[in-house]
Amino acid sequence: MFPVKELDLHATEMYPGTQAVARAIALLKAFSDAQPEWTLNDLAQATGLHKTTAFRLLSALEAERLVMRNPLSGGYRLGVELIAMGGAAMRANPLRAMSRPVLVTLAEQTGEAATLEVLVEDYVLVIDEVPGSNPMGMTQDVGHRLPVHATATGKVLLAARPEAELAQRLAERLPALTEHTITDPQQLRSVLARVRQEGVAIAVGELEPGFTAVAAPVLDRERQVVAAISVGGPSVRLTAERLPEVAAMVQMSARQISRQLGYWPG
């Protein structure tokens, strides 16, 4: 079952009505590719809500078409209104708009999928993706959340975080997705140090077997890392011999986007 974070009720109880909003948001965020449908009982249990409270909130969300009922199973799924809202959010995102032409060129140059991703809690979120031209390409759909420690983009974004935050994130052993996933915090720290020095991260078979990705950071005018772009595809095409060339193209593309955001090296 997909993990659902506990509600921070203390942060919302000071203002009337905000607790209900926070609870409704928690219900919506519980849905994922791994768990696209919930029964009322399971969803209430996963979010830590009383069944009556969950039902009342779900009824309000259903009235606004933010959730819908499966007529066969009676389970809850995300509603069609969220598709329209998600599309509007993507179109309104300036980072995505600036990055799109660069991602298109990068995908054409490499023949592999190019993505734009940001850090959200313990995941990287894919906010744009341009498929490659090669057959049997491997892609990550927009909206996917991927474990931060097992991705090239995640390593780029983690490498830019303050030491205190890293210490908290790397306090425990990390979950393994494949036999190549880095699970030891100290080993990952060593990798992150190299990423800071080289300005590029490579993940070979860490997220899924046979998948290789190369990522570089996108910086804003304050020289803060705000996103990462990557090229990913089958390891049989993104070989060790080809990776330096692909890494250089990814870094150059990341610098193009960074300059559009006002970054300038100095």
Asked if pLDDT for residue 248 goes beyond 70, the answer is yes
At 142 the pLDDT is: 79
Q: Confidence class of residue 95 from pLDDT cuts 50, 70 and 90?
A: confident
Decide the pairing of beta strands 211-219 and 225-234: antiparallel
Dihedral pair phi/psi, residue 6, rounded to 5°? -65, 150
Condensed to tens digits (0 to 9), the pLDDT of residues 45-85 reads 999 999 999 999 999 999 999 999 998 899 999 998 887 88
Angle between the 243-260 and 94-110 helix axes, to the nearest 10 degrees? 150
- What is the C-alpha separation between 178 and 176, in angstroms, rounded? 6
Residues in the chain: 266
How far, rounded to the nearest angstrom, does the alpha carbon of residue 162 sit from its chain's CA centroid?
19
**Mean pLDDT (the chain, rounded):** 88
Boundaries of every domain in the chain? 9-84, 93-260
- Across the beta sheet with 113-120, the strand order is 145-147, 123-130, 113-120, 225-234, 211-219, 201-204
At 250 the pLDDT is: 97
What pTM, to 2 d.p., does this model score?
0.72
Structural fold of domain 9-84 = Arc Repressor Mutant, subunit A (1.10.10)
- What is the C-alpha separation between 253 and 186, in angstroms, rounded? 30
- What is the C-alpha separation between 185 and 192, in angstroms, rounded? 10
Structural fold of domain 93-260 = Beta-Lactamase (3.30.450)
